[in-house]
Structure 1
Amino acid sequence: MNVAELDETTRTALEAAAFRRLVAHLRERTDVQNIDMMNLAGFCRNCLSRWYREAAETQGIALTDPEAREIVYGMPYKEWQAKYQKDASPEQKAAFNQANKAGH
């Protein structure tokens, strides 16, 4: 079977499973800082939570940014920041600024 042959329900189930696995992976990898993700991939946990909130809105579901972040982080964002977020190094900040100049 190729991807084009998947029915929408199966495709949606596979996408949901992949999303859940990504979120679980990011929850486990607390050593990976959001700025590193932004510098390497152009998105971070906050982006993912924003996309989740935006998807909820398209379905008529009211979800705040803090609620969406808690879904992605597995805890309130402020708690995650206090436990795991480190100050960005000058090198990380420079890479982030360079990426943003490139139209990120």
Structure 2
Amino acid sequence: MDDATRTRIEAAAFRRLQQHLMQDRPDVQNIDLMNMAGFCRNCLSRWMQEAAAEEGIEMSKEEARAAFYGMPYDDWKALHQTEAGPEKQAAFEKAFAANVDPDKG
């Protein structure tokens, strides 16, 4: 497989993941994703921001989140996120520390 084809396939898979998380399963909470998988929607938006930077494109954290979420992050949170109890928050702190570079969080 040539690089251009691989890139198109990878991009299509990413778009499908994004659709799944944003449209098909907005009920799945970011904190649960982080606690179980070590990444969440915010990580994916940060990875987009980092990939843009590698291409010489400046993208703020807010711009990257809006690009991934399809709306401002605060709007997404208001529509789909629920409050997490202390047990989930404690698990999140551990998962975040283990999986996210503290300088990038």
Give TM-score, length-normalised by structure 2: 0.85
**Residue among 42, 47, 55 paired with 2:38:** 42
Q: Which has the larger radius of gyration?
A: 1
Distance (Å, rounded) in 2 between the aligned partners of 1:99 and 1:81: 20
Secondary structure of 2:76's match?
helix
**Alignment coverage as a number of residue pairs:** 98
Counterpart of 1:54 in structure 2 is: 50
**Where do 4+ consecutive residues of structure 1 move more than 4 Å?**
none
Distance (Å, rounded) in 2 between the aligned partners of 1:78 and 1:59: 27
% identical aligned pairs: 58
Deviation at 1:56, TM superposition (A): 0.4
Alignment of 1:18-97 (within 5 A): 18-28=13-23, 29-97=25-93
Distance (Å, rounded) in 2 between the aligned partners of 1:62 and 1:98: 30
Deviation at 1:30, TM superposition (A): 1.3
State the superposition RMSD in angstroms: 1.4
Counterpart of 2:103 in structure 1 is: none
- Native 8 Å contact 2:45 2:65 kept in 1: yes
Distance (Å, rounded) in 1 between the aligned partners of 2:60 and 2:91: 30
Unaligned runs of 5+ in 1: 1-5
When structure 1 is superposed on structure 2, of 40-49 and 86-95 the one drifting more is 86-95
Distance (Å, rounded) in 2 between the aligned partners of 1:100 and 1:47: 10
Secondary structure of 1:20's match?
helix
